[in-house]
Amino acid sequence: MIRYSLICSNAHDFEGWFRSSEDFDSQAQRGLLACPHCGDGAITKALMAPRVVTGEQKAAMAALEPAETPAAPPVPLAAIPPQAQEALAKLKEIKAALLANSENVGKGFAEEARKVHFGEAPARPIHGEASADEAKALIEDGIDILPLPALPGEQN
């Protein structure tokens, strides 16, 4: 992953993470990027100096960083570019279909997913809650799962 310093046409600075430079370019060309401060879709990379961090520096920085980063204020849906709004609408549609056609097993998701995988429970689509550690363990055990994203307008 590559972290870029970004800037909108209203001079708001923020950062974004991308798989590659081409990924940033593709998202920018398709109008999928928006400023978290004002919703502006004219996003460019800001001037950045390369940063190489050694193992010792990483450990020192980790000790100084707060445990949690405060969340950015939500961007009003009206401020999101139209192409991104269309993509969000499609994601909401897909997520609703997945949830409507699966059984909610709640906080016992990891346990039930294992039972289904090993044939101890009937095979069926399920959804529910799992911690990051539980999800990682399921994936490491070869159990296919798909985390569903929290979308704008949904409560977590």
Q: How confident is the model at residue 119 (pLDDT cuts 50, 70, 90)?
A: very high
Q: What is the mean pLDDT of the segment spanning 8-14?
A: 90
pLDDT given at position 149:
80
140 C-beta neighbours (distance < 10 Å), count: 8
pLDDT given at position 87:
86
Q: How confident is the model at residue 123 (pLDDT cuts 50, 70, 90)?
A: very high
**Alpha carbon distance 130, 155 (integer Å):** 17
pLDDT given at position 64:
61
The one-character DSSP state at 37 is T
pLDDT given at position 154:
72
| 63-98 pLDDT per residue, tens | 666 555 555 556 566 667 888 888 888 888 998 898
**Alpha carbon distance 76, 61 (integer Å):** 33
**Amino acid, single-letter form, for residue 91:** L
| 46-68 pLDDT per residue, tens | 876 565 666 776 666 666 665 55
